[in-house]
Structure 1
């Protein structure tokens, strides 16, 4: 007795049907397959919103981390040697931490 050949499937659709349907469509329509994409939650949101959400505020995060590194060093320098340079550096580090905490680009 001979077994029936299985049709290979991709995302629940037969591959042959997927290839034929994408070959007749334009390039922009071919890049997004609504029926196949709507099964995946991330792809569903991408299909719903036309604008891609990008990560913003990474520069302020790096600035805050640098402020967290520089602030103790500048406070130590202010404590040991004193002087306006260490005070200005401590103030700038505190400002960088505040900007990163508030994150105006979020």
Structure 2
């Protein structure tokens, strides 16, 4: 199974980030100091942060799903770990049963 192409997703993400950068530059250079411009700037920054977060975590999620669907190669072995309770050595004495004396 081949990994899905991120070409279209990457184009959408880059276009969104360029839009956000353009809006911030426009508001910085030509925008008036109003509450509307401040609200737009906050929304654009949140959009950029959400886009970056979705891109990173979406890639991780997608890779994890692809790896889960991939069947293991017949030539590989799977190692499992088991916990073995350590046994006291003969030199060790067991602790006293009553600490009061």
Shared topology, TM-score over 0.5? no
Give the structure-1-normalised TM-score.
0.41
Give the structure-2-normalised TM-score.
0.42
**Whose helix proportion is higher, 1 or 2?**
1
